[in-house]
Amino acid sequence: EADIYQTPRYLVIGTGKKITLECSQTMGHDKMYWYQQDPGMELHLIHYSYGVNSTEKGDLSSESTVSRIRTEHFPLTLESARPSHTSQYLCASSFRGNYGYTFGSGTRLTVV
């Protein structure tokens, strides 16, 4: 049973819309991450957080933004979606010093 939840699972939206992908975990993990994965490609880190009010950009440049107001919640926002944002977005979390990540089920985003 998953302890990290992502919603929605699938989203199809029009260009220019603002969207927020939700990610919540109930494990009390201090570290949280957002990865982007295109079909058949590797996972790319786009954002991470080491705790409340801490956010950093990852290795892959992204037009999205994140916030970490509560330990358990790490939403990702796209102010104006474009077709190039079509991808799968995976949220993950871990304890400080523990390298075994727990992943959410992902959000598959399609921008038309």
| Least distance from other proteins to the Cβ atom of residue 42, Å | 4
From candidates 45, 57, 73, 86, binder to other proteins by CB under 8 A: 45
Q: Which parts of 81-110 interact with other proteins (CB under 8 A)? A: 90, 92, 96, 99-106
The alpha carbon of 90 is separated from its chain's Cα centroid by a whole number of angstroms, namely: 5
CA-CA distances (angstroms) from residue 112 to 6, 22, 39, 48, 79? Answer: 22, 21, 17, 27, 15
> What is the rounded distance in angstroms from the CA atom of residue 63 to the CA atom of residue 7?
20
In the bound state with other proteins, the residue whose beta carbon lies nearer, of 11 and 101, is: 101
Give the tokens for residue 7. Answer: 């919603």
**Per CB under 8 A, 42 contacts other proteins:** yes
60 contacts other proteins (rule: CB under 8 A)? no
| Candidate residues 3, 59, 63, 79; the one interacting with other proteins per rule CB under 8 A | 59
How many Å apart are CA 102 and CA 4, to the nearest integer?
7
User: What are residue 85's phi and psi, to 5 degrees?
Assistant: -85, -5
**Interaction site with other proteins (CB under 8 A):** 31, 33, 35, 40-45, 48, 50, 58-59, 90, 92, 96, 99-106
